[in-house]
Amino acid sequence: MSCVKILEYYYRKNRLASFGFVAAPDLIHSSDVKKRVTNKRFRFYRRFMLSIFGPNTFLQAYDEENSIYLLINRDSWEKGKITFEILEKEIEKMYEGEFNIIPI
């Protein structure tokens, strides 16, 4: 809930704010090799965000393979100030890889 309170604080300061986060990956050991498995944290956070933030304020989107979750400000989206292309470019600046953002 601490993170939710922080999101609410910044949203009150800027009504056009959008948010995103990456859930830490789950790892399993197979011999000496680590490999990714379905991310339990991501699944929990996705259900939690859907229950906390309704669809009127934020468009919610995600990239399950990379455990990325976005709360996209609906006003910014509708005014064209933010798009999936912009989001993907910004994410690519921080992380390597290809991203596939899917709206909920």
Q: Each residue of 14-55: pLDDT tens digit?
A: 999 999 988 877 766 555 445 555 578 888 888 888 888 878
Q: Say which residue, 102 or 15, is predicted with more confidence.
A: 15
Q: What is the helix (H) or strand (E) element at residue 102, kind and residue range?
A: strand 102-103
- Identity of the amino acid at 3: C
DSSP string computed for 8-49: HHHHHH-TT--EEEEPPPPEEEETTEEEE---HHHHHHHHHH
List, edge to edge, every strand of the sheet that includes 68-73. 19-22, 68-73, 58-63, 102-103
The band of 92, judged by pLDDT with boundaries at 50, 70 and 90, is: confident
User: Per DSSP, which regions of 18-96 are E strands?
Assistant: 19-22, 27-30, 33-36, 58-63, 68-73
| SS3 at position 103 | strand
Give the mean pLDDT of 92-99: 76
